[in-house]
């Protein structure tokens, strides 16, 4: 390229760029305008980064390549990089030029053991493994925030820790990182995260307290095996007594979460105050006893303690009372719990920057899903958001883990600019 053309291009680019940002020259942009400007500038690159993760998914505990790729991006941005916290986790540390708090952003890294037909042009190259939960998007968003905040380092207060966490799907990674001594030394003040899901792209949703229903697995042990008929009869007795929903609604039909009348965004959503139980219990014989297992989703923490006594009572009152050995929970994971004050502060911060109503209030609790981010929240005050990744006009439905899972990549832009702004403000 000769000098003349280069000069023309430089003039053109300095002339062209500010137009999209209120006719202001770049030096006059406010921090949040600059965040939007930088986000738009790297958006195409972030899409490529996401597609690379999508083509090369790795299961929980095997995120070796993913770790290498993330490490390289973070080092290129000039961040300090720490590994050996747990598994293939990576932490990127960005120090602002001004004093402030220690704020963390968490992205999960692992893919799913799926083999669904993938409609995208950038299909998984690994047979039987797919990014069917959207963690590829989460990593691209986190790398994007790191770049945008690195570009605003001069005005950034405090230190931002980008936690790339392995093994989310197995519910192991967050717990192990959170209890690691090296991690504790970071003395984080606050931690934030998101999950992409089947809301319209561009929508961000949050609520105080539980984002999901409490996920439990109940185990009922008998002395002897029950016949098929007996299992059916007992299952229906237990379900009739436990299952609860709002005015006979069907919160187990999860696709309704986007319905404007009964979905999460409506104050009278059906996704509150319910208990869902598997229709069929899983049965097997082990160690000389017969087991019946079922997954349960309960929205109310207080009501969980009634479940085991009432199941025991139902069985004692049935013909199988003398056969009963025990009733217990074999899965007792914590659930994502957003502290009310910090949630309110985060909503206010973002509504102030991007306009009132920018954050959509969430009135329900999503069944079937959970996130081990809950373990970070047990140690560090933190808020977890839902990021819409669907585009119904384009036929894209981001229902995590479903065979038709797809993401409108525009959500990467929304995620990067919104949460760059939030982390920037929270560091003060």
Closer residue to Zn ion (CB): 400 or 421? 400
CA dist 116 → 119, 168, 396, 403 (Å) = 9, 20, 15, 6
- 23-52: contacts with Zn ion (CB under 5 A): none
Q: Using the rule CB under 5 A, give the single segment among 3-11, 126-134, 207-215, 295-303 that binds Zn ion.
A: 126-134
- Exposed, middle or buried: residue 341 (CB in 10 Å: 0-12, 13-18, 19+)? exposed
Nearest distance in Å: CB 366, Zn ion: 12
Q: Which residue is nearest to Zn ion (CB)?
A: 133
What is the spatial distance between Cα 34 and Cα 25, in angstroms, rounded to a whole number? 10
Closer residue to Zn ion (CB): 132 or 158? 132
Closer residue to Zn ion (CB): 133 or 191? 133
Closer residue to Zn ion (CB): 176 or 239? 176
CB 419 within 8 A of CB 105: yes
Closer residue to Zn ion (CB): 133 or 327? 133
Work out which of 42, 94, 107, 133 binds Zn ion, going by CB under 5 A: 133
Nearest to 85 by CA among 183, 195, 202, 221: 183
Q: Using the rule CB under 5 A, give the single segment among 77-85, 128-136, 311-319, 358-366 that binds Zn ion.
A: 128-136
Q: How many residues bind Zn ion (CB under 5 A)?
A: 1
How many C-beta atoms lie closer than 10 Å to residue 54's C-beta? 23
Long-range contacts of 355-358 (CB under 8 A, 24+ apart): 358/204, 358/418
| Strand-pair category, 98-108 with 190-200 | parallel
Largest CA distance in the chain: 93
Query: Residue 390 has which token pair?
Result: 């669907």
Nearest distance in Å: CB 156, Zn ion: 28
Phi, psi for residue 316 in degrees, rounded to 5: -60, -35
- 352-411: contacts with Zn ion (CB under 5 A): none
Q: Using the rule CB under 5 A, give the single segment among 21-29, 82-90, 130-138, 403-411 that binds Zn ion.
A: 130-138
Closer residue to Zn ion (CB): 158 or 367? 367
Q: What string marks each residue from 80 to 119 as x (binds Zn ion by CB under 5 A) or -?
A: ----------------------------------------
How many C-beta atoms lie closer than 10 Å to residue 280's C-beta? 10
CB 367 within 8 A of CB 319: no
Nearest distance in Å: CB 378, Zn ion: 19
Nearest distance in Å: CB 75, Zn ion: 26
Q: Using the rule CB under 5 A, give the single segment among 133-141, 177-185, 239-247, 384-392 that binds Zn ion.
A: 133-141
Closer residue to Zn ion (CB): 159 or 193? 193
CB 76 within 8 A of CB 92: no
Query: Residue 417 has which token pair?
Result: 């600019």
What is the spatial distance between Cα 107 and Cα 68, in angstroms, rounded to a whole number? 15
Q: Using the rule CB under 5 A, give the single segment among 45-53, 132-140, 246-254, 340-348 that binds Zn ion.
A: 132-140
Query: In the complex, which residues of this chain contact Zn ion (CB under 5 A)?
Result: 133
């Amino acid at each position: 390229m000769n000098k003349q053309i280069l000069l023309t291009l430089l003039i053109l680019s300095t002339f062209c760029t500010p137009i999209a940002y209120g006719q202001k020259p770049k030096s006059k942009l406010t921090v949040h305008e600059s965040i939007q400007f930088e986000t738009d500038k790297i958006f195409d690159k972030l899409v490529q980064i996401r597609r690379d993760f999508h083509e090369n998914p790795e299961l929980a505990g095997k995120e070796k390549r993913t770790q290498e790729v993330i490490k390289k991006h973070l080092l290129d941005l000039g961040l300090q990089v720490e590994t050996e916290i747990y598994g293939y986790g990576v932490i990127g540390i960005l120090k602002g030029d001004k004093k402030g708090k220690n704020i963390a952003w968490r992205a999960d890294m692992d893919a799913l053991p799926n083999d669904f037909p993938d409609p995208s042009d950038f299909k998984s190259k690994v047979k039987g493994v797919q990014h069917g939960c959207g963690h590829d998007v989460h990593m691209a968003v986190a790398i994007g925030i790191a770049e945008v905040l690195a570009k605003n380092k001069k005005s950034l207060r405090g230190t931002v820790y980008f936690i790339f966490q392995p093994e989310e799907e197995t519910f192991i990674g967050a717990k192990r990182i959170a209890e690691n001594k090296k991690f504790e030394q970071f003395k984080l003040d606050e931690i934030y995260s998101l999950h992409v899901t089947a809301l319209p792209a561009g929508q961000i949703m949050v609520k105080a307290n539980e984002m999901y229903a409490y996920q439990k697995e109940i185990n009922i042990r008998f002395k002897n095996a029950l016949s098929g008929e007996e299992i059916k009869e007992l299952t229906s007795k237990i379900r009739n007594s436990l299952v609860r929903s709002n005015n006979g609604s069907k919160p187990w039909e999860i696709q309704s979460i986007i319905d404007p009348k009964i979905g999460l965004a409506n104050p009278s959503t059906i996704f509150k105050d319910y208990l869902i139980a598997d229709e069929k219990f899983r049965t097997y014989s082990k160690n000389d006893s017969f087991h019946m297992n079922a997954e349960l989703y309960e929205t109310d923490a207080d009501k969980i303690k009634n479940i085991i006594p009432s199941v025991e009572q139902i069985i004692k009152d049935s013909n199988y009372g003398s056969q009963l050995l025990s009733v217990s929970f074999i899965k007792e994971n914590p659930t994502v719990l957003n502290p009310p004050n910090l949630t309110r502060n985060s909503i206010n911060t973002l509504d102030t920057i991007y306009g009132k109503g920018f954050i959509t209030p969430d009135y329900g609790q999503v069944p079937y899903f959970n996130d081990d981010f809950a373990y970070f929240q047990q140690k560090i005050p933190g808020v977890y958001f839902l990021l819409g990744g669907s585009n119904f006009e384009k036929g894209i439905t981001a229902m995590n883990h479903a065979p038709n899972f797809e993401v409108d990549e525009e959500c990467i832009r929304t995620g990067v600019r919104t949460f760059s702004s939030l982390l920037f403000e929270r560091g003060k």
